[in-house]
Amino acid sequence: MYDPNKIFTIDEIRQLRRFAMSISNSMIPLQYKDWYYLDSGQIWDIDTYCAEAARCLAMSEKDFSNYFELKKNDDNRIGNLDLFLKICYEYKVNSFVKLQSICHEASEIIVCEAGRGIDVLLTSFVKPWHRIVAYDQDKSVLYEMKKYFKGELGLPFEVQQINTINYDFSGINERTIIFGTVHNVNADKKKEILGNTNLIGLLDGEVIS
């Protein structure tokens, strides 16, 4: 069973909870929302996905499962519990743990299609980065991320409005970690990352370089 105290510090767990609450208090209007699509066909709005992922990582598996059962009675936007736990525990936690082992290899990190920024928060726990860049095609989430991570947390944080298909990984000249998922980095972009010796890719916990 997942125990956040084995993965995160007490302060990091508090930050996860605070982040989830911040999103809940600044939900993007429905007409401007981006959506998170899964291979299973499930769809989550990006606010819900990031807020609930942060809550999930901050709670024990038992506590989150109980929370989920209560939540779904009035709001079933996070859908299938087992699938959601798999994303949080197998992908998010594995990527976070793996990043800790390779973070010394670069001082800059790029978070792919960051949404509201759950992966930005996780990378910020690992070490003080020289530069954190998050990109997304949705202008509304970029505004919210910049307000939170640069404005409230004071991180060396930048945003770029672009999607992965149009991102030029071949032109990056600084030693950089690319933090993403196989969901948002396709085979062609994976080859582009592999072709640039300045880059270390970390996709769902798997290192490509």
Q: Are 42 and 80 in contact (CB under 8 A)?
A: yes
- Domain boundaries 97-208, corresponding CATH code: 3.40.50.150
Spell out the long-range contacts of 69-78 with Cβ–Cβ below 8 A and sequence spacing 24 or more: 77/44, 77/45, 77/48, 78/44, 78/48, 78/49, 78/52
Q: Mean pLDDT for each consecutive 10-residue tract of the chain (209 residues)?
A: 96 98 83 50 72 95 90 64 86 95 98 95 98 94 95 97 95 96 86 96 91
Residues 92, 58: Cα–Cα separation, whole Å: 12
Q: What per-residue confidence (pLDDT) applies to 75?
A: 56
Q: What per-residue confidence (pLDDT) applies to 39?
A: 46
Q: What per-residue confidence (pLDDT) applies to 181?
A: 87
User: Locate tokens 């942060």: which residue?
Assistant: 54
pTM for the model stands at: 0.91
Read off the tokens for 174.
């600084």
Q: How far apart, in Å, are the Cα atoms of 206 and each of 110, 140, 185, 203? A: 16, 30, 12, 5
Domain regions of the chain by residue span: 4-91, 97-208
Measured CA angle at 98 (ends 93, 102), to 5 deg: 150
Q: Which amino acid is at 71?
A: K
Q: What per-residue confidence (pLDDT) applies to 114?
A: 94
Residues 34, 205: Cα–Cα separation, whole Å: 24
